Chain A
C-alpha cells in the first residue's frame, strides 16, 4: 500500500516581484513501511514540499494544481484546515532540525508528552506510563525521573530523541523528518539514524526524510528523490541512484561530497553557476544553464527517462552513466 502519493504537484508563491514557481510537477510516492529520502540543496523546494504536505504553506503560497493522496483516499491538497489539524500529530508527525525549537522551554518534558496525547482519552497516569515507555524506546536512561525535567536539562542529542519520541507517540502512518541530524555530531548522528531505523520497523510507519547530507540518506533510506529548483530531477532506489546516477545534477552533487574522496585533493569539485531565479525559470530543462551536456534539445522539456526498475531521470541525456565514479 502507498501511504503518500504526490502527483504533479505545483506550488506557487505570490511575491512583490512577481509569481514564483516553487514546486513544479513534483511526483513521487512513499510506500508503507519504507523510508524515502529527499535530497537537494538549499532553495530546491524541500521545505516547501513538506509544508505543502502538512498544509502549512505561508499565506502567499498556494497549491496551483496536483494531488497529495494520503493513505489512498484523502487528498491533502484539498483538505480543509480542521480536517488537516486532525491528521497532523496523529497520522502525520514531524521532527524538525532544531530540537530546542521543537520543545517548549517552560514546560516539563512529561507535561509536553502528556499534552500530545489529549485525544487518546487515557487517564493522566496511563498517559505518563506511555510517555515513559516511549522515552525508554528512544533510549533515554531513567525515564521516570526524567519526566519532571525541562528541555534545557537534556543534551542536544537527547532533546532530539525526545522530539522523536513525541512524534512517534501516536504511532503515525507517516513521519516527516526534516534534517533531524544536521545539528548533531557524527557519533550522535549515526546513533539517531540507527534509532530511527529501529523505531520505523517497530512502529511500522513510513518515513519521508529530508536531508542535504548524502551519507545519511544512503544509510537510512530505501528510496530517494533528488530535487533541483523545485523539480524532481531523478528518483529511484537509494542503491540505483548512488551507484548509477543518470541526471547530470545528481552526478555532480554526488561528486561534490568530500566523503567520496578517499584522499586530499588540490581542488574540491563544485557545481559552476547558481540556482536559476524561480520567477523566471529557464525554458526546457531547469538544469540546462549549468549543465555540460546541454544542447539544443534541452531547451524543450525533458522526458522522464526510465533507466530500469523504478529508476527515472528527468533528462534528455540520461543514457550517460558515470559508473566509474563510484568505483
Chain B
C-alpha cells in the first residue's frame, strides 16, 4: 500500500500539532527542561527546542545553540518515552482488607511528537515485552493502544549514538503513525509520510500538498549522511553468544571496579522494563495500595530472596544487565534489547561505554575461540 507523503513548512507543523491537540491528544514532545532536552507537553512548534542541540559523550551532556532554527537538530535526551507508556510509578491495585479492589484512574491519551527511530524501535521492543509474551500488561496497553506516534528521522546523531550498528536508525523504522523528515537547506521544509490509517486520516484533514520527488530525495539524503556520522559503532557479529560464553571472565571485575551500580543506565534505557511492586497501607490501616515502580538489576534488593541477594557483586549485576540487553533478550523476545540510543553511555556518571565493554568481551571470546 502506498501511503501519502506531503510537504509542510513550519506553519504546517504548527497546524499538525494543533490538530492533534484538537483531536483530544495530550501532545508530548522534546522540550527544553532542566538543562536537557526532555519530554513535555507542547501546543506549538515554538515549545520545541528550536535552534538547540546537545554535545554528548561518555558521561557528558551539554546543551548548545545551533546556527539555525532547526526543530529537531539534536539526538535524544536523558528520558525516553517509556516513562509515559510504562510509568516510573503507577498504582496497580488498591483494596481493602477483604481484598475488594477499588477503581483506578484511566490513563491519558497521548500523541508523542518527535519520537526518534531508535525510540520507535524501543517502543516496538517494549510492545513485545508487555503485549506479546503470553501475558499482557494493561497499564502499558491502555497507554499504548491509543497513542499517536509522530516519528522524526535523525540528521544530527549524538556523540554516543550507534543506531546504525543496531539497525534502528537514523532513518525511520516501522510502527509510527506519521514520519517526519526535516530539511534544512536554503528552505526549511518537512516531508511527512503516513505510516498508518490513523496517520493518513490526520494528513487528509491537514490538507497539505503532496511532496515532490526531489524533496523526498533530499530527505533521504539527509538520513544517509547521518548514518555515516554516528558517534559510536558496535560490531554485533557473534556478540550474543560471546557474552554468555564469557560469563566467568575476569573482565567483569575490571568493569565493576568502575561501575557505581547507580542504575542510571537502566533508568535512561528506553527498553529496560523491570519494575518492583511496593505495598503500602493507609494510616487507618483500611486501604492497601500496590504501587509498581521502576526497578533496576543494579540494585542489591533486585535479586533478594530470603537470606540475601543472589547477585552480591557489582560484577554480577553489570554482567546481568549487559548480557540481558545484548544476549538473553534474543532468547526471550527474539531481538536485541539495545537500540543504540547511547543514553546509558551519556548518563553513566563514570562514562562506562556499552559499545566498548561489549567489544572487549567479543574480542576476548574471539581470542579464546581462536586459541
| A and B pair up | no
Mark A residues whose CB is within 8 Å of B: none
